[in-house]
Amino acid sequence: MTSIRTRFAPSPSGYLHVGGARTALFNWLYARHTGGRFILRIEDTDKARSTEDSIKAIFEALEWLGIDWDEGPFYQSKRTEIYRQYIERLVRTGHAYYCTCSPEKIQQMREKAMAAGDKPRYDGTCREKNLGPQPGAVVRFRAPYSGTTVLKDVVKGNIVFQNSELDDFVICRSDGTPTYNLAVVVDDLTMEINTIIRGDDHVMNTPKQILLYKALEAQLPVFAHVPMVLGNDRSRLSKRHGATSVTAYRDMGILPDALINYLARLGWSHGDQEFFTREELIQKFDIAAVGKSAGIFDPVKLQALNADHIKASDPASLAPRLVPFLARTGIEARPDQYMAKVIATLNTRSKTLVEMAEAARFYYLDQITFDEKAARKFLKPAVAPALEKLLAKLEQLDEFSDKSLEKVFIQVMEETGLKLGKIAQPVRVALTGTSVSPGIFEIIGVLGKKRVTDRLEKALEYIRERSG
């Protein structure tokens, strides 16, 4: 059996958007699932729009997603000689010809066709002139005027195109550069791509490409045109629907595995399962299971899935990812064992790494600032005796285990007659500055004796100052 070879071929005219990322993902998953090869190609022949910054942005996004490539990156801009050889071959075999019609003359042809109720097209003026290469000439493919071209598509089924709808399309511009359809066919042939998975906006290009394959006496690849990614209003995904850049979701605190999971489920399904690890996606992905309906991108669902991935992640593995988000809040910290303990108290209550970083700040601050409303409600003079007793008992503890902490709190409750909530909430404000946080025993266990006792001392000072 021939090994599967897929490719992702973005144009570097901007960032990698989520639609392109899903195309890359489907190709990558299928190659990994089948034990094949995944090739990266940069289609940078449009010199006016292609930029080095865009190329770097694409690499950055793919690397963050964990989509690695086996061959490449190949650059179309460096393959001009290869395209030239194939163009000459098509001319030599009679499948292409030189055309010297001016842009003005071609425009007249199109207007005449439209006036007659036909599609605007080139009328074949130079088709039989046997012209040679000359300044200003383009090369056109000699398209058949009759018959049909059939696209056998794994996702969409068979699509039949009438050849009479096509014209003799340009394959080489007057400056010697190849057009998209010629370049992509030559690239896929020479890179031995045998499975082409791409967005269904490419369907209308495909009959021209099929004709080129046949003219070159080459075997057709398997085509799979996947439905577009749309916004909630079912229009093409754009900035008005929210962020469309992959790296924007990274900066929002979305995990790469969560985004991959979500993108894979936009158009592909495996029963009713929603949550997939990367390994499960590789194991179960099959291009034949991609549906015909467009995927609707919902940022709310993505965030909910991200919360599930955060919850399922090992805290130590999340630590390096949390570091830059902590830095945004002014906290410089290392991804060490302490951070893993911090994350373990927050990973069931954080939808994003941004939320987690904000919630983790109190673990790292030298000085806690009390939320005014929380302090006014819970740090009252009446609670001072309980805090003093708790402080004294905690200072005597050798270890802060759940069992030992529970014993201390029970003792304080018995000595003061207060219920746990009446003690725990003031302690929570004392330790975190707010009235909302992870479990009180979790917090104390992570902060350790010195931080806990220092913060309780500060809370008692605050109460004494307020009581005058």
3-state SS record for 416-463: HCCCHHHHHHHHHHHHHCCCCCCCHHHHHHHHHHHHHHHHHHHHHHHH
Of 56, 112, 152, 239, catalytic: 239
In sequence order, the 6+-apart residues with CB closer than 8 A to the CB of 250 are 61, 64, 256
- CA dist 218 and 462 (Å) reads 82
pTM of the predicted structure, to 2 decimals: 0.93
- Per the CB < 8 A criterion, the answer to whether 451 and 362 are in contact is no
φ, ψ (nearest 5 deg) of residue 75: -115, 125
* Residue pLDDT tens, the chain, 468 long: 689 999 999 999 889 999 999 999 999 999 999 999 999 999 998 777 888 999 999 999 999 999 999 999 999 999 999 999 999 999 999 999 999 999 999 999 998 988 888 888 899 999 999 999 999 999 999 999 999 999 999 999 999 999 998 999 999 999 999 999 999 999 999 999 999 999 999 999 999 999 999 999 999 999 999 999 888 888 777 766 666 789 999 999 999 999 999 999 998 989 899 999 999 999 999 999 999 988 889 999 999 999 999 999 999 999 999 999 999 999 999 999 999 999 999 999 999 999 999 999 999 999 999 999 999 999 999 999 999 999 999 999 988 888 999 999 999 999 999 999 999 999 999 999 999 999 999 999 999 999 999 999 999 999 999 876
Q: How many CB atoms lie within 10 A of CB 111?
A: 11
- Per the CB < 8 A criterion, the answer to whether 92 and 215 are in contact is no
- List the alpha helices (DSSP H) in 93-171: 103-115
Sketch out the chain's domains with CATH numbers. 5-74+182-230 (3.40.50.620), 81-180 (3.90.800.10), 239-310 (1.10.1160.10), 313-364 (1.10.8), 367-468 (1.10.10.350)
Cα separation values, 307 from 68, 303, 352, 357, Å: 25, 6, 6, 14
Whether the bond into 73 is cis, omega within 30 of 0: yes
Backbone dihedral region for residue 11 (phi beyond 0: left; psi -120 to 50: alpha; all else: beta): beta
Assess whether 239 carries a catalytic annotation.
Answer: yes
